[in-house]
Amino acid sequence: MERREVSRLVVISNRVQSPKASSAGNQGGLAVALLAALREKGGVWFGWSGETVGAFTGAIGLEQADGVATATVDLEPQDVDEYYNGYANRSLWPLFHNRIDLTRFERDFEGGYLRVNRRFATTVRPLIGEGDLVWVHDYHLIPLGRELRRLGLTNRLGFFLHIPWPPSQILMSLPSHEPLVRSLFEYDVVGFHTPDWLDAFLHHVTRHLGAVVGEDGAVTLGDRAIRAIVAPIGIDAGEFETAARSDPARFARDRLHMSATGRSIIVGVDRLDYSKGLPERFASYERFLLRNPDLQGLVLMLQIAPPSREKVDTYRAIRAELDELSGRINGEFADIDWVPIRYVNKGYPRDELAGIYRAARVALVTPLRDGMNLVAKEYVAAQDPDDPGVLILSIFAGAAAQLRDALLVNPYSADEVADAIALALGMPREERVRRWRSLIANIRREDVFWWRDRFIGALEPR
Ligand code: GDG
């Protein structure tokens, strides 16, 4: 057998992004970066196909496109209910976003989560060669490392959490939180977006599990020592800056400008998710309109919010709440030739999205809690360097740790956000340019390739 000079990369995540989507321009930055790494190093991306079958078989669907191999597996409907819609999106997601009020704890969910993690491990195990680096993504697959170790895997194993790490008192309301957290010690490297999420993790494992942080930064629990690192994800800034100058972007921007008839556009783009602070955002905008009657009729807010996770009741509830709220605000303020909020429940191709960002004088990125938030970075990258818009950013988005020159706000305070909107709309060009230059410098430097290399650099054997 041919000896491998360099280690291959095996990426494992809940869902796999098909390399075919990249030619259609539908790929997010994460997929672009991981596919590029897979292309360079060779290897495979493994995950759920998104399809269901009557009974789990473990049969792998292999695809090879554009120099990258993807391997997918179908799940049973019960797996999807308990693992994906259940434990991942009704237990872990709300809890890790501090929404204990929306969190459901069910033994069946946990059972399904562990079962699917075991199924993933057994299915992907034969695809992993000696010396391959294995990089597991996100909250769906926390115990996967442990399941792979149980099957005898000794490779370097890394885990990256894309969402926040919760405070201990919240985490501890999760039944079986302890084995879940302990399972992270089966990895070699565990990564978070920000120092805050890392600190919360370190606090928990040292205070509640007796782990010890060594001088070299290694975190030891029992006979396992791991490295816990900060690696903030970025975007493919170059690609997005180019997209913003493309024909489809220009077309979308012109269409929006024409329909706005000279009004200043305030944009929001979010998956329809309760963590994104959309009702609070609408209420802040309403406060701004009330406080600035002279500006009524001169601004409009465009909120793009493609629905997500519609099988989960809390997502249906937030959708109904926003329908009601946007309708009420529009009813209250609209005139024969003006509607204050355009609320759109559909997604747009990436290049058109770049044009929409560029058309907007202000972006409102006001999540109540967010691991990072890539929309903030995309908005900045899409701006015209000579006449850029202003980013209003929640202090509770991971991105606030890097984007210090945004207008940072507390999203729970309608007054504070309303003030920031007024400030942004009146901000002189010189200040907009100064802030934008500082933001774009960070976004270009700490891009998605920098993030990937930082993580893989920590994972590679030394
Ligand atoms: C999780 C974490 C972390 C949205 N609408 C459209 C569209 N989008 C794209 C955006 C952006 C992506 O979806 C959303 O990314 P975010 O980072 O804002 O949020 P999550 O989906 O919650 O992602 C988050 C991220 O993982 C990465 O680690 O930053 O904190 O929660 O790229 O552009 N894309 C298109 N049309 C739309 O209408 N094409």
370 catalytic residue (yes or no): yes
Does position 23 have pLDDT exceeding 60, yes or no? no
- Give distance in angstroms: CA of 380 to centre of ligand 1: 15
Query: What integer is the mean pLDDT of 353-360?
Result: 98
Query: What integer is the mean pLDDT of 276-304?
Result: 97
Please report, as a single letter, which amino acid is at residue 199: D
Does position 287 have pLDDT exceeding 80, yes or no? yes
Residue 192 to residue 347: CA distance in whole angstroms: 28
- Give distance in angstroms: CA of 104 to centre of ligand 1: 24
Does position 32 have pLDDT exceeding 70, yes or no? yes
134 against 315, higher pLDDT: 134
**Using a 6 Å cutoff on CB, does residue 88 contact ligand 1?**
no
Does position 325 have pLDDT exceeding 70, yes or no? yes
Structure tokens at 364: 């409102």
Does position 27 have pLDDT exceeding 90, yes or no? no
- State the closest ligand 1 atom to the C-alpha of 276, by its place in the atom list counted from 1: 22
The one catalytic residue in 270, 370, 405, 447 is 370
pLDDT band at 356 (very low <50, low <70, confident <90, very high): very high
Query: Which of 375, 379, 447, 454 most suits a substitution to test ligand 1, by most atoms within 8 Å of the C-beta?
Result: 375
- First CA to last CA across the chain, in angstroms? 25
**Using a 6 Å cutoff on CB, does residue 373 contact ligand 1?**
yes
**Using a 6 Å cutoff on CB, does residue 234 contact ligand 1?**
no
Does position 4 have pLDDT exceeding 80, yes or no? no
How crowded is the C-beta side of 175, counted as CA atoms within 13 Å? 10
Residue nearest to atom 26 of ligand 1 (CA): 162
254 catalytic residue (yes or no): no
- Give distance in angstroms: CA of 28 to centre of ligand 1: 8
- Give distance in angstroms: CA of 270 to centre of ligand 1: 7
7 against 445, higher pLDDT: 445
Query: What integer is the mean pLDDT of 350-359?
Result: 96
Quick one: pLDDT at residue 1?
Answer: 43
Quick one: pLDDT at residue 250?
Answer: 97
Does position 392 have pLDDT exceeding 80, yes or no? yes
Beta bridge partners of 272: 307
Does position 181 have pLDDT exceeding 60, yes or no? yes
Quick one: pLDDT at residue 33?
Answer: 76
Does position 38 have pLDDT exceeding 90, yes or no? no
Quick one: pLDDT at residue 140?
Answer: 97
The pTM for the full model equals: 0.96
The one catalytic residue in 137, 140, 162, 193 is 162
Please report, as a single letter, which amino acid is at residue 4: R
Residue nearest to atom 19 of ligand 1 (CA): 373
Among 235-239, 379-383, 432-436, which stretch is predicted with the lowest mean pLDDT?
Answer: 235-239
Q: What does the mean pLDDT of the chain come to?
A: 94
What does each C-alpha distance from 416 to 16, 280, 366, 412, 422 come to in angstroms? 40, 12, 12, 8, 10
pLDDT digits (tens, 9 = 90+) for 122-169: 999 999 999 999 999 999 999 999 999 999 999 999 999 999 999 999
What is the signed CA dihedral for 246, 249, 254, 255, rounded to 10 degrees?
Answer: 140
Beta bridge partners of 407: 392
pLDDT digits (tens, 9 = 90+) for 105-118: 999 999 999 999 99
Does position 271 have pLDDT exceeding 70, yes or no? yes
pLDDT band at 19 (very low <50, low <70, confident <90, very high): confident
Length of the chain: 462
**Using a 6 Å cutoff on CB, does residue 149 contact ligand 1?**
no
**Using a 6 Å cutoff on CB, does residue 162 contact ligand 1?**
yes
Residue nearest to atom 15 of ligand 1 (CA): 374
Residue 459 to residue 462: CA distance in whole angstroms: 9
Burial 132-162 (b: 16+ CB within 10 A, else e): bbbbbbbbbbbbbbbbbbeeebebbbbbbbb
What does each C-alpha distance from 97 to 56, 171, 197, 432 come to in angstroms? 31, 10, 11, 32
Query: What integer is the mean pLDDT of 24-34?
Result: 66
Q: Which is it for strands 218-221 and 212-213: parallel, antiparallel or unpaired?
A: antiparallel
Domains of the chain: 9-234+448-459 (3.40.50.2000), 237-444 (3.40.50.2000)
